[in-house]
Structure 1
């Protein structure tokens, strides 16, 4: 091997190691980091889609994990509208949130789609479903069509883009890291990574 090729390979290896050092095992950095606006809390966000079977399967474990979070960790669900088909479910989520009935609709929609195999993929079908759960049709439709819900859906779309998501479920930690079952290898390892990254970010909080 010539000295020039040896030098080239050495430089390439150093460069690769430098880049690799920025990544953890089972998570990726978010570059640039996304400000959360919360200096005294660590923000954890879960991106999901109601039609995703993996999101449905993960929900019980995620609920159990969130129940143990300390006061300085804030958890949010983000109904990621990563493509046009998913947008109606994002609108459903934020309409329910705007009316204060998300607890009444969130789990039933998951169950309807994955346990009962109902095809709830259109605005009309989702509004009808909300009515089945006892929600006033006009109130829910008005919330769905409201400017506030439109803004929330656009914010969710942009946040997914900034996290460079390629699928769900995925978890963002304090706007700096993302992990998922595919990145971590297993959901058990994903939760371990989440614990480690949350603890790391807790150490940076202002008192």
Structure 2
């Protein structure tokens, strides 16, 4: 799901389907960044998944990534960064993601976030929408909302937007590897193929040092 589709139809689902994957027949399975991005985790190879909750491809990629993470090598650090692209709705969904991460409720709510945005069309990019939506979950709602509204979270969201700009992310899901490469299903032909390329790039980085 590329940036143009998101900004054109935000709040709705993109019409992205198999067409972008067909482009993989005509291009390399990854791109090399012109400028290396320094890792934020000392001594480890950083892997970043850029995503957003309105993206059907990100939803399909999600369970594959969860399975891949069960075998994450010790020398690899993984994190997700929500794409914002200067849009208020995506910024609101990024706030929800980081709130779940900080309150350690993300494992409970993340699949439900995808469903709320894509199936139920709920406005959970707003504070009121989130407050009403989380009542279905069994955790401390007051603590969750305190984190959601915190100033520190705003700084995290701004940093996420900056990271995506640094990597020049134009579509999601996109995976950055070692601050040197990016790959996606539009390059590899499938989501599973993307993870296979990630593994290959990790091995290449280890070998090259």
Same fold flag (TM > 0.5): yes
For 1:1-207, list aligned pairs within 5 A: 25-82=28-85, 83-116=87-120, 118-204=122-208
Deviating runs (4+, > 4 A) in structure 1? 115-119
Q: Secondary structure at the match of 2:124?
A: coil
In structure 2, relative to structure 1, the CA distance for the partners of 1:127 and 1:30 (3 Å cut) is: farther
Q: Give the aligned CA root-mean-square deviation in angstroms.
A: 2.0
TM-score (norm 1): 0.79
Shift of 1:75: 1.2
In structure 2, relative to structure 1, the CA distance for the partners of 1:190 and 1:151 (3 Å cut) is: same
Shift of 1:122: 2.6
**Contact 2:117 / 2:123 at 8 angstroms: preserved in 1?**
yes
**Contact 2:40 / 2:46 at 8 angstroms: preserved in 1?**
no
Corresponding pairs, count: 182
Segments of 5+ residues of structure 1 without an aligned counterpart are 1-23
Shift of 1:105: 1.7
CA offsets 1:66-118 (integer angstroms, 9 cap, x no match) = 21221111111112222322111110111122222222222222233345554
Q: Secondary structure at the match of 1:35?
A: coil
In structure 2, relative to structure 1, the CA distance for the partners of 1:159 and 1:33 (3 Å cut) is: same
Segments of 5+ residues of structure 2 without an aligned counterpart are 1-26
